Amino acid sequence: MPHMLSKYISRKDLPAFAFIAAAGTLNHFLYQWTGSAFVAFFCPVNESVWEHLKLLFFPFLFYSLWNYMCKKPNAASYFFYRFLAVLCGMLCIITFFYTYTGIIGRNFLILDIITFLLAIMATLHFIPHLARAFPSIPSLTATYTAWMSVVLCFFMFTCFPPEIPLFISYA
């Protein structure tokens, strides 16, 4: 494994990295290919930063659900730390995008791809660190409610995007 990658992602997280990167890349084009209203809830419908957060969030959620079913760890801590980690990853996407476009003055596809891959790395990297930083966890109900709140925000803001920069399409 390349040194830089192994410094930030453990070997056991490589399948997650590969799945999220592949699924996120596929999801980028899925709505355009299908035009399906159902697909629109899980895949970007335009080139806004908000819609591109779906590229990380949903593949990470689906991988986490599959991994949970296979390994059966403690549900409350497993989903809580992953929820915090994906929020950190999404914050990385927002921060990287607005920082580099603020400096350069426009967006570039290669930098958007690098931003996505770095956000996946950050998300996977943060999980064990968050577990050490937050030893007490909320109830499983609170954790599931947090996940569902974000899912509902994605669904709602896909249909009714606010008129603020995060929701403006950069196409």
Tell me, what's the pLDDT at 73? Answer: 84
Tell me, what's the pLDDT at 70? Answer: 94
Tell me, what's the pLDDT at 4? Answer: 58
Contact 143, 137 (CB under 8 A): yes
Tell me, what's the pLDDT at 6? Answer: 62
The whole-angstrom separation of Cα 27 and Cα 12 is 24
Please give the backbone phi and psi of residue 149, each rounded to the nearest 5 degrees, phi first.
-65, -40
Tens of pLDDT along the chain (171 residues) come to 455 556 667 888 999 999 999 999 999 999 999 989 999 999 999 999 999 999 999 999 999 999 999 998 888 899 999 999 999 999 999 999 999 999 999 989 999 999 999 999 999 999 999 988 888 888 999 999 999 999 999 999 999 999 999 999 877
Tell me, what's the pLDDT at 60? Answer: 98
Quick one: how far is CA 116 from the chain centroid? 9
- What stretches of 35-74 show up as alpha helix (H) in DSSP? 37-40, 49-71
Contact 62, 23 (CB under 8 A): yes
The whole-angstrom separation of Cα 132 and Cα 94 is 25
The whole-angstrom separation of Cα 81 and Cα 136 is 11
Tell me, what's the pLDDT at 1? Answer: 47
User: What is the three-class DSSP state of 28?
Assistant: helix
Tokens of 15: 């399948």
The whole-angstrom separation of Cα 42 and Cα 59 is 9
